[in-house]
């Protein structure tokens, strides 16, 4: 069984800032690559050995600029089980770590994660921005939206359908705001923002795995990249949806972490 990291190359012809295309007037790109390590569904300690083995296979030349965690990093909200995951990630170097909660990081424990792991930037229907290799990157982070709440959610989370409707609208606005001020916008969710990258799962469970958010966003509200997890058995792990590169980085689905080399080019 192969436990290597998945190498993904992404390309963009130009940068857009505030809806305007920015060109440098020359043939050479202002920047070349942004290196990202992304994963989800470690369910530590369940898939911790697979996770560590995959990280160990990353070469020295593949140190990331950014680490993205798309939820369900621990199993059954075992808050302490995040420690070995974080220890393994720190061996990759001093890259910022951005994370969202999954369904296995329980609502009632969110404050514990914030207190115990301040070195992680947690996003909960929020954004953060940082400059990576001279490129301003904005990350919109959220658990995400389900097209159909799970039976457990319907029983235990009051107004869950309204919560999901409001979250979808908020995400569209957050992405729109980021596009005005940032070069690259990343949507980081646990639940899938499209059905395209859950294929391989039984079709009747698609509504419980995600929501066709990307398809419903207008062009001004679309991210450049969307990264998610949750669909452990998916076979389609990358798709282009409405012009958006979407990646399912679920560890069980990939049998390793995803290593994304994002190529940014400015050209005449």
Structural tokens at position 124: 């909960």
Label each residue of the chain as H, E or C. CCCCCEEEEEEECCEEECCEEECCCCCCCCCCEEEEEEEECCCECCCHHHHHHHHHCCCHHHCCCEEEECCCCECCCCHHHHHHHHHHHHCCCCCCEEECCCCCCCHHHHHHHHHHCCCEEECCCEEEEEEECCEEEEEEEECCCCCCCCHHHHHHCCCHHHHHHHHHHHHHHHHHHHHHHCCEEEEEECCECCCCCCECECHHHHHHHECCHHHHCCHHHCCCEEEECCCCCCCCCEEEECCEEEEECEHHHHCCCEEEEEEECCCC
pLDDT at 59: 62
pLDDT in tens, 219-233: 989 999 999 999 999
Percent of the chain with pLDDT over 90: 79
pLDDT in tens, 15-35: 332 332 333 333 333 567 789
Tell which wins on pLDDT, 172 or 63.
172
> In sequence order, which residues have a C-beta less than 8 Å from that of residue 28 and are 6 or more positions away?
none
Residue 160, pLDDT > 60, answer: yes
pLDDT at 201: 98
Average pLDDT of the residues in 232-238: 97
pLDDT at 261: 84
For the chain, the farthest-separated pair of C-alpha atoms sits apart, in whole angstroms, at: 59
Average pLDDT of the residues in 94-112: 97
Closest CA to 183 of 25, 15, 14: 15
Band (pLDDT 50/70/90 cuts) for residue 109 is very high
Residue 11, pLDDT > 50, answer: no
pLDDT in tens, 33-58: 789 999 999 999 999 999 999 999 88
**Is 187 within 8 Å of 171 (Cβ atoms)?**
yes
Lowest mean pLDDT among 29-43, 136-150, 244-258: 29-43
Identify the architecture of domain 6-12+27-264 in CATH.
Answer: 4-Layer Sandwich (3.60)
Instruction: State the residue for tokens 């709440």.
Output: 149
**Is 147 within 8 Å of 210 (Cβ atoms)?**
yes
Other beta carbons within 10 Å of 239: 18
Tell which wins on pLDDT, 265 or 7.
265
pLDDT at 10: 43
Ordered by start, the domain boundaries in the chain are 6-12+27-264
Q: How many residues does the chain have?
A: 268
Residue 242, pLDDT > 70, answer: yes
Percent of the chain with pLDDT over 70: 86
């Amino acid at each position: 069984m192969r436990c290597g990291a998945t190498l993904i190359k992404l390309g963009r012809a130009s940068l857009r800032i505030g809806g305007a295309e920015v060109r440098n007037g020359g043939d050479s790109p202002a920047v070349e690559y942004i290196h990202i390590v992304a994963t989800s569904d470690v369910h530590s300690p369940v898939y911790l050995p697979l996770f560590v083995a995959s990280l160990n296979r990353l070469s020295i030349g593949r140190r990331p600029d950014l680490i993205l965690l798309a939820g369900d990093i621990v199993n059954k909200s075992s808050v302490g089980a995040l420690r070995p995951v974080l220890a393994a990630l720190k061996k990759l170097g001093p890259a910022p770590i951005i994370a969202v909660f999954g369904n296995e990081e329980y609502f009632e424990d969110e404050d514990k994660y914030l207190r115990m792991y301040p070195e992680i930037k947690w996003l909960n229907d929020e954004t953060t921005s940082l400059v990576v290799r001279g490129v301003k990157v904005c990350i919109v982070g959220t658990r995400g939206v389900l097209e159909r709440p799970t039976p457990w959610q319907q029983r235990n989370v009051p107004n869950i359908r309204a919560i999901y409707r409001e979250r979808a609208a908020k995400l569209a606005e957050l992405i729109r705001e980021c596009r005005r001020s940032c070069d690259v916008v990343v949507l980081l969710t646990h639940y899938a923002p499209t059905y395209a990258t859950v294929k391989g799962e039984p079709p009747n469970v698609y509504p419980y795995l995600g929501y066709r958010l990307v398809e419903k966003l207008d062009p001004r509200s679309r991210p450049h990249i969307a990264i998610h997890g949750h669909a452990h058995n998916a076979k389609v792990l990358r798709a282009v949806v409405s012009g958006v590169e979407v990646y399912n980085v679920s560890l069980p689905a990939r049998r390793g972490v995803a290593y994304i080399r994002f190529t940014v080019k400015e050209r005449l």
